[in-house]
Amino acid sequence: MKVKFDEKGLVPAIIQDSVSKEVLTLAYMNEESLAKTLETGETWFFSRSRQELWHKGETSGNTQTVVSIDYDCDQDALLVQVNPNGPACHTGAVSCFSDQVYEGNAPNFTILGKLEKVIQSREKERPEGAYTTYLFEKGIDKILKKVGEEAAEVIIAAKNRSAEELKWEAADLLYHLMVLLVEQDLPIGEVLKTLEERHKA
């Protein structure tokens, strides 16, 4: 890996969720922290304020398992894709980029990863009155029934040639399928990985 470090011996590293593709944080690495990242498979950074190495999640437990590391065309910036084991930000937010300056009209396709986290939270915390809580409390048979019902609704919408109806029913099916995946402890990332492997084959 040919990486160009700046005059201070640092290179910026963009940390991105490998599944949702959401940017989690921007940190800096020096040669030693990059080497430790490659060696351990978890992110290590260099703190510019403390002037020392730090292992992401060492105290909080919110480590980041490295999936891939790429460098840009100038070899002076890194893109590190990770599977986060908790929030990236010290505030408890999933991403350090949580304060928005501008929002256009482009669709946000990071929704699958975000939805998975919400469903996982519902399964764990079981807030009263939430529909997802209801599904988990009713159990696997209810969840499977809903997946079947929503699949039938998708078929009916498609037969009706109604794009608007199909859009809504497909969204319902995806939601209930993700509830099933969480119940089965199968990350959506594993499903997407399978799709990617099939695409490459």
Both 16 and 55 in one domain: the answer is yes
**Residue position matching structure tokens 């002076």:** 76
Q: Is 99 part of any domain? A: no
Q: Is 185 part of any domain? A: yes
**Phi, psi for residue 158 in degrees, rounded to 5:** -65, -40
CATH code of the domain containing 136: 1.10.287.1080
Q: Measured between alpha carbons, how far is 176 from 186 in angstroms, rounded to an integer? A: 14
Both 116 and 78 in one domain: the answer is no
Q: Is 31 part of any domain? A: yes
Taking the CA atoms of 168, 179, 97 and 33 in sequence, report the sign of the dihedral they define: negative
Q: Is 58 part of any domain? A: yes
Is 106 a residue whose pLDDT tops 80? Answer: no
CB 154 within 8 A of CB 173: yes
Both 123 and 187 in one domain: the answer is yes
Both 149 and 80 in one domain: the answer is no
Both 67 and 120 in one domain: the answer is no
Count how many Cα atoms sit within 13 Å of the Cα of residue 201 in the half-sphere of its side chain. Answer: 6
Both 36 and 74 in one domain: the answer is yes
The rounded percent of the chain whose pLDDT value lies above 70 is: 97
* Chain segment 21-70, per-residue pLDDT in tens: 889 999 999 999 999 999 999 999 999 999 999 999 999 999 999 999 99
Range of the domain at 45: 10-84
Both 127 and 62 in one domain: the answer is no
Is 105 a residue whose pLDDT tops 80? Answer: no
* Chain segment 163-176, per-residue pLDDT in tens: 999 999 999 999 99
User: Residue 11: which H helix or E strand, with range?
Assistant: strand 11-17
Give the chain's length: 201
Both 57 and 130 in one domain: the answer is no
Q: Is 151 part of any domain? A: yes
Q: Is 52 part of any domain? A: yes
Q: Is 63 part of any domain? A: yes
Q: Measured between alpha carbons, how far is 48 from 97 in angstroms, rounded to an integer? A: 19
Nearest to 24 by CA among 55, 63, 76, 75: 63
Q: Is 163 part of any domain? A: yes
Q: How many domains does the chain have?
A: 2
The mean pLDDT of 4-22, rounded to a whole number, is 94
Nearest to 189 by CA among 89, 135, 137, 115: 115
CATH code of the domain containing 62: 3.10.20.810
